[in-house]
Chain A
Amino acid sequence: MSSGVKPGKYFVQGDEAIAEGAIAAGCRFFAGYPITPSSETSETMARRLPEVGGICLQMEDELASIHSVGAASVGGLKAMTISSGPGISLKLEGLGWGIKNEIPYVVVDVQRAGPSNGVATRVGQGDLYTIRYGSAGGNASLIALSPKSTQEAFDLTIECFNFSEIFRCPVFLLTDETVGHTRELLVIPEESELKVVKRIKPTVPPEKFLMYPLDTPGVINYPFPNIGEGYGICVSPYTHNSRGYASTAQDIQEKMAKRLVFKVTENLDKLVRVERQKMEDAEFAVVAYGGNARPAIAAVDMAREKGMKVGFFRPIIIWPFPDREVLKVAEKVGKILVCELNIDGQLSREVARAAKGKAEIFHLGSGGVEPHLPAQIFNEIRRLYP
């Protein structure tokens, strides 16, 4: 199968960069349902995947999209689906099947202003908790990365695919309409410069292989045999033992739940991705993620021009939340201003939790439609500083 990588410089939208990143990561199955502002990814996949021998289907709904994606991965193809707002609500039904059966695939959420249909064509950041806690039943960890630019949309999509294989789980790319629709420079490097993790295969014979490593919950890089490889795999929605057989025993439920949580929580060091700017001497920090990081960085620069010691911090990995890195920021500064495109305070709530009272946390929210303006954030810094 061809690598599909098209090295070069491109002037494209974030949504298109996601598609190119997926293809470069080896994604050969895509299923989606049209929804703004994510459709450009689906359209790019529909054009590009056949060129590289991949499969692209527009399914009858969001549920079929995520379930066919999970199944295609069980079939041996790296797979991805995408949606936004109301579509993500539906996708969450299928997410549990992927989490529970430890199926590697990628889900992209191009966030728009909500709730419900909200403003379909405009930005919002209201899905932080939705993707983390939306799949019923708990007993799960989630990995989610969030890009701030077209370039990062490409890079982090590849990283999402890699994490999905390493951790054997669905991984989210949590982006937003600002990034999805921003047209800017994308540099696609040579294939040899890209780090792509291939599906890990068992080295032991089928009779010795356990599909679900319930007795070693923290193990990563664990093999995933696909159908047709002689391993007689069992995938199901029910709580399973190590072979995949349904069980109602409490000890099996306990082990399975621990496996699904611990494989992420015992490997946090491998997952930390954060951005810091001007934090060395900072006495005040601004925190933002995704597309809204861009006005936040501009506001920090404005504050610096006025001589204020303000730094910038961005979680690139949203889940698991980079608690330790946020705590370090909180221990350094007196105040943290969190800027995000929701009124209810989601990122700010996580920052406050991770800061453990070491700094005062302020929430600059917006219902969405427009990202914050740098001046808006700067005014808030000036009001709160030092």
Chain B
Amino acid sequence: MSTVGETLNLLHPLVAKYLRRERMPHMACPGCGIGQVVHATLIAVDELGLTPKDTVWVQGVGCNSRITYSTWVGDNVDAHHGRMFAVATGLKMARPDMNFICFTGDGDCGAIGGNHFIHACRRNLDVTAILFNNGIYGMTGGQVSPTSPLGAVTTTTPYGNIEDPFDMCKMAVAAGASYVARWRSTDFKQLSNSIKKGIQTKGLAFIEVLVQCPTNFGRYVLKSSSPQEVIKYIKAHTISIKDAEKLPPEELKGKNLIGEFVHHTDRQGIVERYQQFLKEHQKE
């Protein structure tokens, strides 16, 4: 069965090269930011010359996972909700020679899988984790997430969210990840360069992307299903790390910092640690 894009010969060359045609078109809503992040990921994959033989895509559960799952032409491993990092740990330890590009969401990584996230950072697991942060539970229909803004009206916070959002980049830095950065889906070039850098970094690369979700975040939190409105909202609530340095803390309230938080090039990941450890203790 051919897709509309294929019939019209409109298949993007990166899609044709790296994604399974039979899984296209994917199931993202119109205006969703996930496609932009997948595009940036494919650019990074292409520029680094990664291949289906040496690279695995790993997911948890959520919009990002459902859209990217079993689309990569190589191996695809999709975990239970929240267990992406636990699964990535087993995969990477079993196949330290392979690259693992891992997709997760604000619910998957920040709520139900929070503990695995912390400990993957602490172990400095040598994978590239891309967090799609849309500030809401999309697949289940617009419930509050750990990164929903204070006051956000969602289907499970009809009177407004009374909890503060979770800064997962701060957590990743504190727990010991080698590389931590945050971008918006519109920071396209920075994002694909960042993913490239992340793949090349020893230890855990944690890259958060603020993605627009017009269908649920827009509809419930902003009362507008326009992707542009959600992108505008994200822009208004973000500031680069450099610009933030010039401002007093009270002016940064409610804003997410954008840019690279840490990039340790000398920090060992668990793979290197374990291989050294085996050299000392392996007898047979």
Separation in Å of the A223 CB from the closest CB of chain B?
Answer: 15
In chain B, what residue has the closest Cβ to A1? B284
Residue pair B78, A68 in contact (C-beta under 8 Å): no
- Chain B, residues 257-284, CB within 8 Å of chain A (1/0): the string is 0000000000000000010011001111
Cβ of A19 within 8 Å of any chain B Cβ, yes or no, is no
Taking residues whose C-beta sits less than 8 angstroms from the other chain, chain B's interface range is 35 or more
Using Cβ atoms and an 8 Å threshold, which residues of chain B touch A61? 115
A264 at the interface (CB under 8 A from B): no
List the interface of chain B (C-beta within 8 A of A).
22-23, 52-54, 56, 59, 61, 66, 69-70, 73-83, 85-95, 97-98, 115-116, 118-119, 274, 277-278, 281-284
Q: Which residue of A lies closest to B119 (CB)?
A: A60
Task: Please state if A75 and B61 are interface contacts (CB–CB under 8 Å).
Answer: no
Within 8 A of B (CB), among A232-250: 232-238, 244-246
Interface string of A60-94 (1 = CB under 8 A from B): 11011001111111111101000000000000011
**Contact (Cβ within 8 A) B282 A228:** no
Interchain CB contact under 8 A, B75 and A227: yes
Rounded to whole angstroms, the CA-CA distance of A252 and B243 in the bound complex is 54
Contact, CB under 8 Å: A67 / B70: no
B interface: dominant SS: mixed
Residues of A within 8 A of B (CB): 2, 4, 29, 31, 50-53, 55, 57, 59-61, 63-64, 67-77, 79, 93-94, 96-97, 226-228, 230-238, 244-246
21 A-B pairs (CB sep. < 8 Å): A29-B94, A50-B277, A50-B282, A52-B282, A55-B94, A59-B86, A60-B116, A67-B83, A68-B89, A71-B77, A71-B79, A71-B88, A71-B89, A73-B94, A226-B95, A228-B56, A228-B98, A235-B76, A237-B78, A237-B81, A238-B69
**Contact status B70-A55, CB under 8 Å:** no
Closest to A68 in B: B90
A232, B22: Cα distance in complex, Å = 14
Alpha-carbon gap, A230 to B55, bound state (A): 11
- The answer to whether A74 and B23 have CB atoms under 8 Å apart is no
- Bound form: Cα–Cα A79–B86 in Å: 14
Cβ-defined contact, B115 with A74, below 8 A? no
Q: Identify 5 new A-B residue pairs, CB closer than 8 A, beyond the known A64-B86, A74-B77, A236-B59.
A: A51-B283, A57-B89, A61-B115, A232-B52, A236-B70
Q: Which residue on chain A has the smallest CB distance to residue B52?
A: A232
In the complex, are the beta carbons of A246 and B75 less than 8 A apart? no
B87 touches A70 (CB 8 A): yes
Q: Which of A4, A59, A71, A77 is the one whose CB lies under 8 Å from B284?
A: A4
CB-based contact B284/A236 at 8 Å: no
Given the interface contacts A53-B278, A64-B115, A71-B86, does A236 sit within 8 Å of B76 by beta carbon? yes
Using known A-B contacts A53-B278, A61-B115, determine if residue A67 contacts B79 with beta carbons closer than 8 Å: yes
Give the distance in Å from the alpha carbon of A74 to the alpha carbon of B57 in the complex.
13
Complex-state Cα separation, A75 to B56, whole angstroms: 10
Q: Are A53 and B284 in contact (CB under 8 A)?
A: yes
Among B76, B86, B93, B116, contact of A75 (Cβ-Cβ < 8 Å): B93
Kindly name the residue among B22, B59, B284 whose own CB sees the greatest number of chain A CB atoms within 10 A. Answer: B284
CA distance A360 to B148 in the complex (A): 61
